[in-house]
Amino acid sequence: MADSVPVRCPTCRRENAFTPPTFPCACGAPLTLPVLRGGIPVEILHRTWQSSWVEVRCETCGRLDEWPAPESGCACGTVVRVPVVPVPTPPPPAPPAPGSPASASPGGPSRRPPVLRPAFRPVTIRTAGDCVTAAAQYLKWLGFTDIARVPERTASGVDLRGSGVVAQVDPTTHATKLREVECLWLNALNDSAVAVCFSLAGYSRDARARADALHLPLFVMDLTGTPQPVNDPADELIRDGTGR
């Protein structure tokens, strides 16, 4: 358990002991939010999406992710946001040496070539089951060859599983919500797998923002059964396939 730190309430000046929360990083290591000792807590008068998350880098794998901002409550009723140690700004990259491949190419270093695949053959969607079938075929097209349908959908919302991947398929006419995206990500984290989400009606704004922060690929499906990427992680998954 992380050591507690003193946090002074800005309203009644009472000093409260606060234990920073610990979360599981995608690499599997525990990540304790680095509370800034001596930092000035800020009373929460109203909440916004942006202020509710903080960027923290995992000391084990170096991954930079957003996590729920730590909060502390006082007996007087005041709730404060506890500041964390800011992520250091990385130094600018050194200019390439004259004559190096990077300096010779106007576009900079060469990117990894995209994976070559045959054209995807969609499955026309008429029922909710067709949505799951179309998503399964698409994941196989991406390179996840052993995709299987989950016999009974779990509370985490997983519909498809394969080696290194779990997927959720939302066939409803309502936009997929934040909770479903986060539950899918946690399920993938437990399995050390890639999480992929498919939705027939798209995603709520906060669900898309959280998926971007978690680097979780989102796809939207139309009735032709052809998934379309809706964020950068989905574009990367299409470009790089399962070898990312």
User: What percent of the chain is modeled with pLDDT above 90?
Assistant: 33
* pLDDT tens digits for range 179-217: 999 999 988 888 888 999 999 999 999 999 999 999 999
Q: Taking a C-beta distance cutoff of 8 angstroms, is the pair 131, 167 a contact? A: no
Q: Residue type at 95?
A: P
Beta-sheet strands, E only, within 20-178: 22-24, 30-32, 42-43, 53-57, 64-68, 71-73, 79-81, 148-149, 160-162, 165-170
Give alpha helix (H) positions in 57-108: 101-104
Q: Which residue has the tokens 């730590």?
A: 70
Distance CA 194, CA 187 (A): 10
Given a cut of 50, is residue 238 above it in pLDDT? yes
Q: Taking a C-beta distance cutoff of 8 angstroms, is the pair 157, 169 a contact? A: no
Whether the per-residue pLDDT at 177 is higher than 90: the answer is: yes
Angle at alpha carbon of residue 198, lines to 197 and 204, rounded to 5°: 80
The torsion angle over the Cα atoms of residues 155, 134, 222 and 120, rounded to 10 degrees, is 140
Higher pLDDT, 110 or 27: 27
pTM above 0.75, yes or no: no
Q: Which residue has better confidence, 26 or 233?
A: 233
